[in-house]
Amino acid sequence: MTWVKAILARGWHSPPSKRLTVCMTGGEIITNRIQPEKPDMFCYQCEQTSKGTGCTDFTVCGKDENSAILQDLLVHASKGIAQYAHRARALGVHDAAVDRFILKALFITVTNVNFDAEAIGVALREAAQVRDTAKALYENAARQAGQVPETLTGPATWVPAPTQAGLVTEGRMVSILSRKDKHGPDINGLQELLIYGIKGAAAYADHAQILGQEAEVVYAFFAEALSYLAEEKPTVDQLLGMCLKCGEINLKTMEILDVAHTSTYGHPVPTPVRVEPVKGKAILISGHDLKDLEKLLKQTDGMGINIYTHGEMLPAHGYPQLKQYKHLVGNYGGAWQDQRDEFRAFPGAILMTTNCLQEPQEGYKHRIFTAGHVGWPGIPHIANGDFTPVIETALAAPGFTEDGPDKTILVGFGHHAVLGVADKVIDAVKTGAIKHFFLVGGCDGARAGRNYYTEFAESLPKDCVILTLACGKYRFNKLDFGTIGGIPRLLDIGQCNDAYAAIQIAVALSKAFNCGVNDLPLSMVLSWYEQKAVAILLTLLYLGIRNIRLGPTLPAFITPAVLNVLVEKFNLMPIKDAQSDIAAILNKAA
């Protein structure tokens, strides 16, 4: 990877601190760790991090200090598991339970997933048990191979403190700030870039395995990368290589999730979705987990309860095996950051799956439930897939008293649907009816400036087609963009993981026009918020996609030195204003 030599030549390594400490908690001796200074808590993994630099006194997402610190410790524990799992794999053995726990642990630490410090504490004690399983697996395999097992150090030696307070103390000793002080901001930023990419990919892998789709290459990479992150002397070129490999593995992960969804529920088809209420009892389901939606639909079938999707669940309406349920009546509300007002106004029960949870408010906290890895202190959690409490709450709630206007939006333009009319699309490009494609989407959020994406979509010339995905679509998906020769100008590809579908569409177009993806009349204008977006960005960089515009702000963990390399290699750039960005893109394409 010769292009990283420019980084090395700049002498960008920050000098590590000489201050060391020895801390003993819960039977574990943590040596050679930097003594944490105030603030005790530090997190900058999401786009809305405080002041654009990091959350310290409080987290913008709503995590309390203990939850944030325990999530750091859970990542640390996952590294320890991986140190043994990676070495066991090198000897030809692995354990499915160990692999799946790593997914769970990482998923818990994704933004807006689990805010319950007690539940994270339970996961930490489970992590210690899983680590012991991985250790035994490795050591037995080594002896059978005639080798002396390595005596590992670092996260592999972690011992959980006997109390919750002790776990928090341990978490402080392995914080982001401790690594930043030790390695400097640039190395630490690359470590976090890799960690966040792995977290995002782990979330997708978890969804896929729930539906029975797994890949050994994915599990092997998680173990390899986390084990590498436990090493004492990371290097720039290895970290950058790992980050791009994470992008490669995330592409594979999104592929198996695509297979999981389409083999279970069929390929999405263009489908109008009602966005106004229907009279009757109601349940709203949010998040990403289509399996939970399917269970809920089956359990409520024939009960007179209408089911509404919310947020990233919207694309579910395009899947044939889900849309067959007549009581899946529509989509309610918009993106995750508006849920407090929307949930307060919703007259039924609410079920949160996967991430995108905000602190439940008094107006609805008595009728909201969590499932999967999602958690909030005091909110009922459905752990067994039996949604009877949700159903009973919906039946006791008033529901909608009348129908709303008959208004719909279109979803279901996955790669199978779009490529099914590829000949029409190609002809429209050749005749000049379609001049340019724009992929405008990604995570939405509450930070000021995200109206850029609304203005951008609205301002595009009428001969441009907009591909969109993830919850960023809510900035403009209820607007009427019309059609070009019968082809809708706005094509909703699906959830954030359906970036895989967008990639397949781009690859198919490049083959049709006998050119590279970067030579297509295609521009990507993306919004990001959390770690799944980081994983997708790494996938696009792995594929060599250039000229991506990213906003509304750049990640706080990307230091100027790292950003300079990404600009030089991939021409990654921040968004500016909608009008000048559109002009720059179309003038270059002309």
Q: Three-state SS string across 71-130, please? A: HHHHHHHHHHHHHHHHHHHHCCCCCHHHHHHHHHHHHHCCCCCECCHHHHHHHHHHHHHH
The candidate with the shortest Cα–Cα distance to 265, out of 209, 204, 324, is 324
What is the per-residue pLDDT for 19? 31
Q: Are residues 212 and 332 in the same domain?
A: no
Q: Are residues 308 and 435 in the same domain?
A: no
Does residue 409 fall inside a structural domain?
A: no
CA distance 414 to 325: 20
Q: How many structural domains compose the chain?
A: 3
What is the per-residue pLDDT for 9? 43
Q: Are residues 84 and 227 in the same domain?
A: yes
CA distance 434 to 429: 5
What is the per-residue pLDDT for 588? 84
Last residue of a domain, one of 339, 364, 396: 396
Within 8 A by CB and 6+ apart from 415, the residues are 493, 500, 501, 502, 504, 505, 508
3-state secondary structure of 168: helix
CA distance 571 to 533: 18
Last residue of a domain, one of 247, 282, 310: 247
The candidate with the shortest Cα–Cα distance to 415, out of 301, 351, 498, 528, is 498
CA distance 146 to 434: 65
> Euclidean distance between the first and final Cα of the chain, in Å?
33
3-state secondary structure of 513: coil
What is the per-residue pLDDT for 325? 98
Low-confidence ranges of the chain (pLDDT < 50): 2-38
CA distance 189 to 267: 39
Q: Which domain range does residue 510 map to? A: 418-589
CA distance 22 to 254: 42
Does residue 407 fall inside a structural domain?
A: no
What is the per-residue pLDDT for 447? 86
What is the per-residue pLDDT for 268? 98
Percentage of the chain surpassing pLDDT 90? 89
Does residue 391 fall inside a structural domain?
A: yes
Tell me which H or E stretch contains 455: helix 451-459
Q: Are residues 79 and 175 in the same domain?
A: yes
Residue identified by tokens 């996967």 is 354
Asked, as a colleague might, if the bond just before 149 is cis with ω within 30 of 0, I would say: no
What is the per-residue pLDDT for 28? 40
For the entire predicted model, the pTM comes to: 0.93
3-state secondary structure of 560: helix
Q: Are residues 390 and 422 in the same domain?
A: no
Q: Which amino acid is at 351?
A: L
Does residue 403 fall inside a structural domain?
A: no
Does residue 254 fall inside a structural domain?
A: no
Does residue 297 fall inside a structural domain?
A: yes
What is the per-residue pLDDT for 449? 87
Q: Are residues 428 and 536 in the same domain?
A: yes
Q: Are residues 560 and 497 in the same domain?
A: yes
Q: Are residues 357 and 453 in the same domain?
A: no
Q: Are 338 and 357 in contact (CB under 8 A)?
A: no
Q: Are residues 138 and 233 in the same domain?
A: yes
Q: Are residues 459 and 558 in the same domain?
A: yes
Q: Are residues 28 and 160 in the same domain?
A: yes
What is the per-residue pLDDT for 39? 63
Q: Are 537 and 557 in contact (CB under 8 A)?
A: no
Residue 465: how many CA atoms within 13 Å on its side-chain side?
A: 24
How many residues are given for the chain? 590
Within 8 A by CB and 6+ apart from 519, the residues are 510, 513
Does residue 460 fall inside a structural domain?
A: yes
Asked, as a colleague might, if the bond just before 347 is cis with ω within 30 of 0, I would say: no
Last residue of a domain, one of 396, 431, 459: 396
Q: Are 415 and 501 in contact (CB under 8 A)?
A: yes
Does residue 78 fall inside a structural domain?
A: yes
CA distance 217 to 517: 26
CA distance 438 to 472: 14
Q: Which domain CATH number covers 280?
A: 3.40.50.2030
What is the per-residue pLDDT for 40? 74
Q: Are residues 115 and 28 in the same domain?
A: yes
